[in-house]
């Protein structure tokens, strides 16, 4: 500490950049995730400005106040790996509330303050709460909401400081003003606006209302010229805007400062690696050479996860020792914890309650006021940090309200005299996030920094919380978030596309959106209610005593009853799908908009798939509620509500079951219609899709790969186009009426081979495995039997297509027609079946609909060291990866057909719990869940959705059947 203090004195008397001061502060605090923080100072206009480069000029008469502050605000507090970092972020939120930077409603402000109270003084006690609020200002005029604060605080009994900090961040991150720092500007018309920057991009505010967001993906270049700040957009996203947007700031320095902040934010959140410094010009240079010099967020996360640094055990506890807010400085204990909560400066009223370092930088070398004197009100001992030091680390004497825990075998802690600046010796900070009683919301496994910070033994946890029902409720929340995003693909994104091009008739617009908009609005409210319930559930650790909110049945029952009112809307989805398909065939403009929209990243599935989501979601509710009812005993207070909610949703699903089967079949036929060339009426009434997949057809040239499609009336076989359109050209079709299928492996000496005899021709095909052959033969025989039945659907003459010509000329001749078609996505099941050499049936699709899941997982590649946290959505046989659940479109996808899911073996070298392995040939991925329940759910849904053994086992030898089952 003496060395650090000497360094700080030297900094004050020399010309140093702010980074040098920051470095010393980080050393003093032992702050690992230091890149999130910076120093800000108060300028002449009394605005707090972040230091970038050298901005504070020498002036003997002016004393400048410096303070540590959060520099980068991540969108998800789960991205902060350390509990200590989250604590500092919570203090920043506390400061922003006090300074009215974080504006919000009274209810939200009261909820935030209640969590801060829980963090600082512990469980609710009305007299203590009132006394504390009287002496501490969390918000100007907080008296008007004091009743709400006390009401909310009463509900947090048992919540640990770490949980409270996380709750503060979870609430704050959803506010529009979270992390926003205004820069006064005006637009080209002279209108006064505020510019700000966030992880998303550059934001424009009018007052406190956000009026525009320029995402980083839309921005081509940021620059400044004197006082003008310029944003150059990519041409394809300019829309109604001009190519370059211009804003006028107060001065060149302000403009350049804001530009630098934008550069830093873009580098920190968007780039994997920090850019290399720009080489200085020999004679003259154009433009600024400024570059962000720290680590990017990805580098920071990877460093903490992969460094394997040994961390000092770290624990935080409440204390009931009170220090009066009006006590003199001599009554306040000297600061020995690693991060002083706020140091008051004379003449700065706001700083009295600011919970961060505040430091003076004076030009006069004689005063050396590097750190201001401690403020009693901000050094509240009720939220202490207890540290267990390394063996040889000196410790300060036990201070009032701050208990020093001595582990068995550790040395007796020796007292240490304070430094001349009034700060005691620093000692290593343990930044481990696994504090006692940590909330499951913290997802410790997902913020792991190298240790195995997984949930404690399930049986021990069950004594405190009903974990099984909690994780089921959490699954409802996660899948509801995904479902609402899926609805937005239609209600927000597709609507915008058709309105922009005026491509959809008014009647169809009314039919489509009048049916889906009310459902979307209902689920928005439903999601908020689930989020609120989970927030309260996670905030209590004494559920066995007062478990008012540790249940989900009442929320589900109330909303399932409301959802019944929308049954009439859901019943119209059949008409909506049909009319939309007719309109796209009739109107070329709508067809063009439809196809172009499907190519957008936000439309990560075939468009009409999203129209099935509302009915499919009912099936999910039914399955989830069924699991809850099985989990609870009949005496459990949540059981009756869950059972009644299950009854309500079962009534709805029984009414819509036949409609869903019909809709799923129609959706699949229309999807195939878009992907197949050579047939115009695939969606003919009465036709049913049965199976699609890859088989090898025996030709004069040998076995040739072909894609087969089995319907209730015919079998199509196709080849993949040689252009980049990803479509398949039909080579032939065989009517099922009178067809015969026979195994012929011995006759042709080809493994897994069978012969298809039809009235038109006979073909010989081979499957990739005996299991695949069994699936095809079983489905073909079933379809033939149905096709031969009286009154069955027959092929119409309009469906006739030419038979296959086995020449390359035929394939190449299709190029002109292929090129006229739109490029289609490559992760639909037909394309995955083609590359993975497998097949999928309609029955498999139905099972996959039931087995959908969302949530945060850690992903690791076979040869990589670090784990990456991702929001993962499993649907349509595919994993879709997002950075957070708030993202509008996935970063990448992994189709799972052909993959095998299992637990890692010893040779994989995975030393973590709750890890499952996905493998296809040499492609291997590892995924890590947060709990045993979540791990089992992911394994369950992936296995069910991606493994489809033949319904009949007669075709399989016992040893091979066992092998596939394993």
Of the candidate ranges 3-12, 85-94, 551-560, the one whose mean pLDDT is the lowest: 3-12
Decide if 965 is inside a domain: no
Using CA atoms, how far apart are residues 862 and 849, in angstroms rounded to an integer?
A: 29
Which residue, 246, 266, 301, sits at the end of a domain? 301
Q: Give the structural domain span for 618.
A: 468-538+549-673
The answer to whether residues 500 and 529 belong to one domain is yes
Three-state SS sequence of 713-758: CEEEEEEECCCCCCCEEEEEEEECCCCEEEECHHHHCCCCEEEEEC
Decide if 574 is inside a domain: yes
Per-residue pLDDT of 774-824, as tens digits, reads: 999 999 999 999 887 766 655 543 333 333 444 333 333 333 333 333 444
How many domains are contained in the chain? 5
What are the structure tokens assigned to 446, written together? 């997902």
DSSP state of 365: T
The CATH number for 606's domain is 1.20.900.10
φ, ψ (nearest 5 deg) of residue 178: -65, 120
The answer to whether residues 729 and 643 belong to one domain is no
Decide if 966 is inside a domain: no
- Please list the residues that pair with 359 across neighbouring strands: 66, 371
Using CA atoms, how far apart are residues 548 and 571, in angstroms rounded to an integer?
A: 37
The answer to whether residues 67 and 193 belong to one domain is no
Per-residue pLDDT of 326-359, as tens digits, reads: 333 323 222 323 333 332 333 333 333 333 333 3
* Cβ atoms of 722 and 811 closer than 8 Å: yes
Decide if 842 is inside a domain: no
CA 829 to chain centroid, in Å, comes to 25
Decide if 858 is inside a domain: yes
The answer to whether residues 569 and 505 belong to one domain is yes
* Cβ atoms of 772 and 964 closer than 8 Å: no
- Please list the residues that pair with 676 across neighbouring strands: 728
Angle between helices 467-488 and 932-946 (to 10 degrees): 50
* Cβ atoms of 708 and 695 closer than 8 Å: yes
Decide if 446 is inside a domain: no
* Cβ atoms of 712 and 783 closer than 8 Å: yes
Using CA atoms, how far apart are residues 720 and 810, in angstroms rounded to an integer?
A: 12
Which residue, 643, 673, 703, sits at the end of a domain? 673
Of the candidate ranges 423-432, 836-845, 904-913, the one whose mean pLDDT is the lowest: 423-432
Residues 6 or more apart whose CB falls under 8 angstroms from that of 346 comprise none
Cα 734 to Cα 392, 688, 804: the distances in Å are 83, 15, 11
Of the candidate ranges 203-212, 654-663, 681-690, 818-827, the one whose mean pLDDT is the lowest: 818-827
Which of 601, 710, 28 is closest to 337 using CA atoms?
Answer: 28
What are the structure tokens assigned to 109, written together? 């402000």
User: DSSP letter string over 901-952?
Assistant: EEPPPGGGT---SSEEEEEETTEEEEEE-SSHHHHHHHHHHHHHHH----S-
Give the pLDDT confidence score for residue 21 in this predicted structure.
77
Using CA atoms, how far apart are residues 2 and 5, in angstroms rounded to an integer?
A: 5
User: DSSP letter string over 779-801?
Assistant: HHHHHHHHHHSTT-----GGG--
Give the pLDDT confidence score for residue 759 in this predicted structure.
83
Of the candidate ranges 117-126, 270-279, 308-317, the one whose mean pLDDT is the lowest: 308-317
Using CA atoms, how far apart are residues 657 and 655, in angstroms rounded to an integer?
A: 6
Name the helix (H) or strand (E) containing 6: helix 2-13
pLDDT band for position 651 (cuts 50, 70, 90): very high
The answer to whether residues 2 and 85 belong to one domain is yes
Asked if residue 735 has pLDDT above 70, the reply is yes
Which of 408, 323, 393 is closest to 120 using CA atoms?
Answer: 323
Residue with more model confidence, 349 or 41:
41
Half-sphere exposure of residue 367, counting CA atoms within 13 Å on the CB side? 14
Of the candidate ranges 282-296, 563-577, 749-763, 806-820, the one whose mean pLDDT is the lowest: 806-820
How much of the chain, in percent, has pLDDT values that exceed 90?
Answer: 36
The answer to whether residues 187 and 169 belong to one domain is no
The answer to whether residues 609 and 640 belong to one domain is yes
Residue with tokens 């970063």: 891
Name the pairing type of β-strands 676-677 and 728-735: parallel
How much of the chain, in percent, has pLDDT values that exceed 70?
Answer: 68
The answer to whether residues 570 and 645 belong to one domain is yes
The answer to whether residues 42 and 142 belong to one domain is yes
Q: Is the pTM of this model over 0.75?
A: no
How many helices, marked H, and strands, marked E, lie in the chain? 28, 29
Residue with more model confidence, 281 or 497:
497
Residue with more model confidence, 445 or 742:
742
Which residue, 673, 697, 722, sits at the end of a domain? 673
The CATH number for 871's domain is 2.30.29.30
The answer to whether residues 593 and 701 belong to one domain is no
The answer to whether residues 36 and 79 belong to one domain is yes
The CATH number for 5's domain is 1.20.80.10
Which residue stretches of 438-550 are H helix? 458-462, 467-488, 495-501, 506-538
Averaged pLDDT for residues 614-624: 93
Which of 457, 501, 520, 365 is closest to 13 using CA atoms?
Answer: 365
Residue with more model confidence, 303 or 450:
303
Asked if residue 401 has pLDDT above 90, the reply is no
Give the pLDDT confidence score for residue 811 in this predicted structure.
37
What are the structure tokens assigned to 472, written together? 């089921």
Asked if residue 314 has pLDDT above 90, the reply is no
Which residue stretches of 632-724 are H helix? 639-675
The answer to whether residues 157 and 195 belong to one domain is no
CA 805 to chain centroid, in Å, comes to 49
Give the pLDDT confidence score for residue 690 in this predicted structure.
95
Decide if 437 is inside a domain: no
Decide if 543 is inside a domain: no
Per-residue pLDDT of 930-945, as tens digits, reads: 999 999 999 999 998 8
Cα 966 to Cα 371, 837, 943: the distances in Å are 66, 20, 11
Give the pLDDT confidence score for residue 683 in this predicted structure.
85
Give the pLDDT confidence score for residue 189 in this predicted structure.
82
């Amino acid at each position: 500490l003496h060395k650090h203090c000497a360094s700080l004195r030297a900094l004050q008397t020399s010309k140093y950049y702010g980074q040098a001061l920051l470095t010393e502060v980080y050393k003093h605090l032992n702050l690992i995730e230091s890149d999130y923080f910076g120093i800000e100072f108060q300028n002449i206009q009394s605005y707090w400005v972040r230091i970038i480069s050298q901005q504070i000029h020498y002036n003997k008469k002016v004393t400048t106040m410096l303070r540590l502050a959060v520099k980068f605000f991540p969108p998800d507090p789960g991205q902060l790996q350390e509990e200590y970092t989250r604590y500092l972020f919570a203090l920043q939120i506390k400061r922003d509330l006090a300074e009215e930077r974080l504006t919000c409603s009274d209810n939200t402000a009261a909820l935030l303050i209640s969590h801060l109270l829980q963090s600082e003084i512990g469980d609710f006690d009305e007299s203590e709460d009132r006394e504390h609020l009287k002496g501490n200002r969390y918000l100007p005029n907080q008296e008007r909401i004091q009743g709400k604060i006390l009401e909310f605080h009463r509900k947090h009994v048992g919540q640990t400081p770490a949980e409270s900090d996380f709750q503060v961040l979870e609430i704050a991150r959803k506010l529009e003003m979270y992390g926003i720092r205004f820069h006064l500007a005006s637009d080209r018309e002279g209108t006064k606006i505020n510019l700000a920057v966030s992880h998303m991009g550059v934001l424009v505010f009018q007052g406190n209302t956000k009026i525009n967001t320029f995402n980083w993906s839309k921005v081509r270049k940021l620059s400044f010229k004197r006082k003008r700040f310029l944003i150059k957009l990519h041409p394809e996203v300019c829309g109604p805007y001009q190519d370059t947007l211009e804003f006028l700031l107060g001065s060149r320095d302000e403009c350049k400062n804001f530009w630098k902040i934008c550069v830093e934010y873009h580098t920190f959140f968007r780039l994997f690696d920090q850019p290399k410094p720009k080489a200085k010009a020999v004679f003259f240079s154009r433009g600024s050479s400024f570059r962000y010099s720290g680590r990017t967020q990805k580098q920071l996360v990877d460093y903490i996860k992969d460094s394997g640094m040994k961390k000092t055990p770290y624990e935080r506890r409440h204390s009931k020792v009170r220090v009066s807010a009006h006590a003199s400085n001599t009554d306040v204990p000297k600061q020995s914890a690693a991060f002083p909560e706020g140091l008051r400066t004379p003449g700065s009223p706001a700083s009295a309650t600011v919970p961060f370092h505040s430091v003076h930088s004076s030009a006069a070398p004689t005063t050396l006021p590097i750190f201001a004197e401690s403020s009693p009100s901000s050094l509240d001992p009720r939220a202490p940090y207890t540290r267990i030091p390394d063996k040889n680390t000196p410790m300060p004497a036990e201070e009032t309200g701050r208990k020093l825990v001595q582990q068995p075998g550790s040395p007796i802690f020796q007292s240490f005299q304070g430094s001349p600046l009034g700060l005691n010796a620093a000692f290593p900070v343990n930044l481990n996030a696994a504090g006692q009683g940590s909330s499951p919301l913290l997802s410790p496994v997902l913020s792991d920094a190298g240790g195995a910070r997984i949930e404690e033994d399930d049986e021990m946890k069950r004594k405190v919380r009903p974990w099984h029902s909690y994780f089921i409720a959490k699954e409802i929340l996660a899948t509801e978030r995904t479902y609402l995003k899926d609805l937005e693909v239609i209600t927000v994104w597709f609507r915008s596309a058709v309105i922009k091009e005026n491509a959809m008739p008014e009647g169809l617009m009314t039919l489509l959106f009048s049916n889906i908009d009310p459902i979307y609005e209902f689920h928005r409210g439903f999601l908020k209610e689930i989020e609120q319930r989970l927030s309260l559930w996670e905030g209590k650790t004494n559920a066995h005593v007062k478990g008012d909110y540790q249940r989900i049945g009442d929320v589900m029952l109330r909303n399932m009853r409301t959802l019944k009112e929308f049954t009439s809307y859901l019943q119209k989805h059949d008409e909506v799908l049909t009319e939309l398909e007719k309109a796209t065939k009739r109107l070329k403009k709508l067809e063009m908009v439809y196809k172009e929209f499907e190519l957008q990243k936000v439309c990560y599935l075939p468009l009409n798939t999203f129209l099935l989501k509302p009915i499919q979601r009912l099936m999910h509710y039914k399955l989830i509620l069924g699991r809850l009812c099985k989990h609870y005993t009949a005496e459990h207070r949540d059981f009756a509500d869950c059972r009644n909610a299950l009854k309500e949703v079962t009534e709805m699903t029984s009414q819509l079951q036949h409609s869903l089967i019909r809709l799923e079949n129609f959706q699949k036929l229309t999807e195939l219609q878009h992907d197949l060339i050579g047939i115009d009426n695939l969606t003919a009434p009465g036709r049913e899709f049965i199976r699609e997949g890859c088989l090898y057809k025996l030709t004069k040239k040998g076995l040739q790969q072909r894609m087969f499609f089995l319907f209730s009336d015919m079998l199509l076989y196709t080849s993949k186009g040689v252009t980049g359109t990803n479509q398949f050209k039909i080579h032939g079709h065989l009517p099922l009426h009178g067809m015969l299928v026979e195994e012929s492996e011995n006759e042709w000496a080809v493994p897994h081979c069978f012969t298809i005899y039809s009235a038109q021709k006979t073909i010989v095909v081979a499957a990739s495995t005996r299991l695949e052959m069994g699936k095809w033969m079983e489905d073909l025989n079933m379809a033939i039997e149905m096709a031969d039945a009286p009154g069955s659907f027959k092929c119409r003459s309009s469906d006739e297509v030419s038979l296959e010509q086995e020449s390359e000329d035929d394939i190449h001749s299709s190029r002109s027609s292929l090129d006229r078609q739109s490029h289609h996505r490559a992760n639909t099941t037909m394309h995955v079946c083609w590359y993975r050499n497998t097949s999928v049936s309609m029955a498999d699709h139905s099972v996959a609909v039931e087995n959908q899941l969302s949530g945060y997982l850690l992903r690791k590649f076979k040869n990589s060291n670090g784990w990456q946290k991702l929001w993962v959505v499993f649907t349509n046989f595919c994993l879709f990866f997002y950075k957070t659940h708030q993202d509008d479109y996935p970063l990448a996808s992994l189709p799972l057909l052909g993959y095998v899911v299992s637990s890692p073996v010893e040779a994989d070298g995975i030393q973590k719990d709750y890890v499952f392995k996905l493998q296809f040939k040499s492609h291997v991925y590892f995924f890590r869940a947060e709990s045993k329940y979540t791990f089992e759910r992911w394994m369950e849904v992936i296995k069910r959705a991606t493994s489809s053994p033949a319904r009949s086992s007669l075709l399989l030898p016992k040893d091979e059947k066992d092998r596939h089952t394993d």
